[in-house]
Amino acid sequence: MVNAGLDLKTVDLTARQISQYHEEGYLVIESLVLESVCGALKERVAFLMGDFDPDSVRSIFTTNEQTRHADRYFMESAEKVSFFFEEEAFDASGNLKQSLALSINKIGHGLHSQDDVFRDFSLSCVWHSLLQQLGMKKPCAVQSMYIFKQPGIGGEVNCHQDSTFLYTTPMSVIGLWFAIEEATLENGCLWGVPKGHREGLLKRFERETPGSITTKMVTIKEHQWNQDELVALPVPKGSLVILNGEFPHLSYANRSNKSRHAYAIHAIDQVCEYPEENWLQPSQGKAFLPFRTA
C-alpha cells in the first residue's frame, strides 16, 4: 500500500498549447507524471484487486453499440470502486482463462472519490489549474477509471466522443488521460481525428427516464469518421493526453504481450447544466467533487 501525497509537476501551458487544444481538439504533454507516481498508482490498483472477489460479479465492459448493455452494477458505479472484465476474459464454461490481474478491463468510476491514493492524485490543484487554463471556470471531476488494456485480450474501444456519455449544456467535458505505462501502436495507444470536435456531438447515451437503469443511444446527427482521418497518439509512460469532450477517439485491441495501463479522469464545468438523463449520476443530495484549488 502506498502513501498519499504524490509528487506532481505544475503545468503552465503556453499560448501555443492552449491554441492547439482548441484548434485540434486534443493536446499531448509527454512524460509529465513522474515514474514513481505511475508506480504508486499501479501498486494501489494491485492492492484494490486483492480485495475483489471475481465470483461476486461478472460485469463485462464493451463499447460495441450492437451489444452494449448497462446492468445495475455499471449504472451504480459512479461512487464506487467497481471492476469490469474484458470481453475475452472467460472461456465457454464461464471460467477465467487467465489470472484476475490479466482479466480486468477497467476499474471505475469513483476511484477519485472513494480511494485515498487516487483522490490525492485525481483532485490535485495541478489539474484544477490546468483545466482553468483551458477555459473551465469551476472544474469538477465526474468520473475516473483505471484501464488495463490487457495483453492479448485488451478489447477495442470504438470511435466515440466523451460528451456522448457526460453531456453538459453548454459543452464542457475535458478528459485527462494518463499513460501509466508506455502506449504504443502494438499495445493499443489512442487514435483520434484532429479537428473532429468541430463536427459537433453525434450521439448521446442516456437513461430512458431519470432514475431508470435502462439506457438508450440517441443519434443527434449522422456522420462516419473515415479511417484515413485518424492519427495515432503513441506516448511514453507518464504522458498526459488532454481530450476535448467532442474529440473523436478510439483504441484498437491489444494483441501484443504487453499491457497498456492508463488512468482517465473526466471533468465538467460546474457552471454548466448536467442533465438527469445522463447515465452517470451522483447519489441524491450529493454533488460531483471539485478539484482542489491549493
> Running along the chain, 294 residues long, what does each successive block of 10 average in pLDDT?
67 98 98 97 96 77 48 89 93 90 96 97 98 98 98 96 98 98 98 97 95 93 92 98 98 98 98 96 92 93
Helix H or strand E encompassing 290: strand 289-290
Buried (b) or exposed (e) across 264-292, using 16+ Cβ within 10 A?
A: bbbbbbbebebeebbbbbeeeeeebbebe
Question: What's the pLDDT at 93?
Answer: 86
Question: What's the pLDDT at 70?
Answer: 57
Dist CA 187 CA 251 (whole Å): 9
Fold of 31-282: Jelly Rolls (2.60.120)
Question: What's the pLDDT at 73?
Answer: 87
Q: Which three cell numbers stand for residue 32?
A: 509529465
Question: What's the pLDDT at 57?
Answer: 73
Dist CA 151 CA 71 (whole Å): 26
Question: What's the pLDDT at 138?
Answer: 98
Helix H or strand E encompassing 105: strand 104-109
Whether cis (ω within 30° of 0) applies to the bond prior to 109 is yes
Is 104 in contact with 85 (CB distance < 8 Å)? yes
Question: What's the pLDDT at 144?
Answer: 98
In this structure, the number of other CB atoms found within 10 A of the CB of residue 80 comes to: 15
Question: What's the pLDDT at 56?
Answer: 78
Dist CA 264 CA 176 (whole Å): 6
Question: What's the pLDDT at 60?
Answer: 62
Is 271 in contact with 169 (CB distance < 8 Å)? no
Question: What's the pLDDT at 61?
Answer: 53
Is 126 in contact with 37 (CB distance < 8 Å)? no
